[in-house]
A and B are shown apart, each in its own frame.
Chain A
């Protein structure tokens, strides 16, 4: 399978990465090189094989559903590009 330029733009949009007109042909070539490389997986018989969901056999750890952390909003927002009163600021989303 290979991707055309419209698909490259659609993937970039889904991935929330802006691309310029000059980027698109490069990306198309690189993505198609990777897709051509993974094409050989089609020859493997995977009938009846379960997909891997756990790397090593282990039961998911569980704990009491309770508050175990928090109470330091200043630390949480410390690295944010724009904040006000311990809130993250974003451009207006709802008119």
Chain B
């Protein structure tokens, strides 16, 4: 029998239904893999007792023919989702030891559908980062290495723990969140599939807030089918989040076999950026060729405001973050450092609790919202956001069904390699993904192949609002054509 941790989520589901193995066996195999992989630092908290209790309950359900959609499937949860009675830190010292008294809507939906929680996954602090190096609990090491090298690489971020754990087969799939690319960039860096659904598809209730008009939850998984199964359970209406859409969730798994015949796929010329490696350009053309061979029509399109998305994001996201993170004041929860008076206590607590990147973003956000600068920065950025969204609305009105782009401007880089001097160097990682958040659209990253250095590269498909089904159908075509990437053999923990 193959190793249980090498199964896809779909195969594990089918195996449980056939009683080829039990949920307890499947869960124990993952707990063992996690224990052997602690060197990757992907999990911040392991919850083995809870996992085994959930698995035993799932086995009882399966035995009585009462199985739910994710019955007995072990998952990892990004530590941005509040989990009742289980430490939730958002990767920050300011929330060290925080034990929520409630369950996030998204994780609650997974438990409702029978999934098993293995633990909480590492991330950039408050999801602010593109390499998982800003976590207060240390960076995540990617399971990928360049051939012949043992130099540690980043798994991408901010959902670095999620991507690394899925690629290293420590969990069948994981939850993640994406504010500017935090699902799609780490998925691209680790040869996994990650989808950021349309803004409003998943409830944000109980997810630690970064930038509320941009944040969306989504899954990272090893196949397009697995991502489709995950999203169906994660998504859905929720009265507790006023921006969560009151729309029924389609059966995404049923959409993956639809193909792309007759679809119009747009290739935006503005994504051909200066200094982009030839291999990325080649992969992009290859992706278009695969879709064309499957019957899609490839159309050159223009999204003229693309280049302004990233700078506008670095006004909007920090502005919202400065407001959202005002709640960490050392009074109601989290770290407190005593001071001379209450303001001194706030200032010391926040200085001690937040890391450098978070402080930087709070300060930029505070500045662009401050008197005299609001119109020049924040209001202008929100107007540019309207223009970015309008670019997409125009091409969709012209009949484009989805847009194909590279997922990232490069493959994974080394830990410590980027952004130490100039924060903007790190921000450029999200150049292809951030437009999607600014426009509230769905976007998926799917592996396209390996670069000359043996590291995975991803393609991104951007869809119409609430049309994740077309993205699953088109990315299944790419997955079939590219062939599933062979994930790295376990060198960790040996």
Contact = CB atoms under 8 A, between A and B. Distances in A.
A41 B367 contact: no
Contacts, number: 164
Contact of A38 (B315, B332, B440): B315
A79 B99 contact: yes
Given A49-B383, A56-B198, A91-B339, A34 B366 contact: no
A39 B335 CA distance: 36
Given A34-B423, A90-B345, A16 B350 contact: yes
A49 to B, nearest CB: 4
A17 B213 CA distance: 24
A11 B384 contact: no
A94 to B, nearest CB: 10
A51 B367 contact: no
Contacts of A75: 101
Contacts of A7: 367
B363 A16 contact: no
A79 B101 CA distance: 9
Interface string B196-221: 00111000000000000110000000
- Range of interface residues on chain B? 35 or more
Interface stretch (B137-145, B237-245, B444-452): B237-245
Contacts of B246: 61
B199 A56 contact: yes
Contacts of B329: 16
B363 A81 contact: no
A16 B200 contact: no
Nearest to A41: B311
A27 B363 CA distance: 9
Interface string A1-36: 101000110011111111100000001001101110
B47 interface: no
A39 B311 CA distance: 8
Interface majority SS on A: helix, strand, loop or mixed? loop
Interface string B384-427: 11110100000000000000000000000000000000111001
B386 A88 contact: no
B297 interface: no
Interface stretch (B15-23, B114-122, B123-131, B354-362): B354-362
B424 A18 contact: no
Contacts of B242: 60-61
Given A41-B312, A79-B98, A58 B243 contact: yes
Given A49-B387, A51-B386, A52-B382, A19 B101 contact: no
Interface string A67-84: 000001001111111100
B468 to A, nearest CB: 13
B330 interface: yes
B386 A12 contact: no
B351 A18 contact: yes
B377 A90 contact: no
Given A18-B350, A91-B338, A37 B385 contact: no
Contacts of B335: 81
**Nearest 9 pairs of A and B residues by beta carbon:** A51-B382, A55-B440, A81-B336, A79-B333, A18-B351, A18-B347, A46-B383, A75-B101, A52-B385
Given A33-B424, A41-B381, A51-B386, 17 more contacts: A11-B363, A11-B366, A17-B359, A30-B422, A31-B363, A35-B364, A40-B311, A46-B387, A51-B379, A52-B382, A52-B383, A61-B242, A75-B101, A79-B97, A80-B331, A81-B330, A81-B336
